[in-house]
Amino acid sequence: MNKKFPKQESEDFWKEKLSEEEFQVLRKKGTEQPFTGKYNLHFENGTYNCGACNTPLFKSNQKFESSCGWPSFDNVIKGSVEYNLDKSHGMLRTEVVCNNCGGHLGHLFNDGPTETGQRYCINSVSLQFIKN
């Protein structure tokens, strides 16, 4: 990452803080297997925070069932994420990263079924849930 984020830490710091899977997704831009994440079919009231730095990212009322295999949200908490062009895997996508630590969260698609028309397709392993 070239950008400096408010919570700028070394890769060694993140390797020590995160599990192997969390590090692979949040720091190396990996993806968890579809339909395996603990928040895919999770619909309690609360806030979904960054799994690395605990920054609030999504409210539970922004979550919806998309049947895509990953937690899906139709909006974010204002100012919580940043967007990057992702040209990996022969595709053009919009990557979503935490605006505080730069952790990879997932991707944004413009095919959502709600009035926003957006689907934030986010890895469960990139999140931690805080119940209201």
| pLDDT, tens only, 19-63 | 999 999 999 999 999 999 999 999 999 999 999 999 999 999 999
Q: What share of the chain is helix, strand, coil (3-state, %, to 5)?
A: 15, 30, 50
| CATH tag, 33-131 | 2.170.150.20
**Would the pTM of this model clear 0.85, i.e. be above it?**
yes
Q: Which is nearest to 41 in space by CA: 70, 62, 75, 73? A: 70
Count other C-beta atoms under 10 Å from residue 125's C-beta: 23
pLDDT for residue 1? 47
Looking at the DSSP bridge assignments, the partners of residue 58 are: 48
Distances (CA, A) of 12 to 9, 43, 97, 118: 8, 34, 19, 35
Catalytic residues: 121
* Helix or strand (DSSP H, E) at 17: helix 11-17
| pLDDT, tens only, 61-86 | 999 999 999 999 999 999 999 999 99
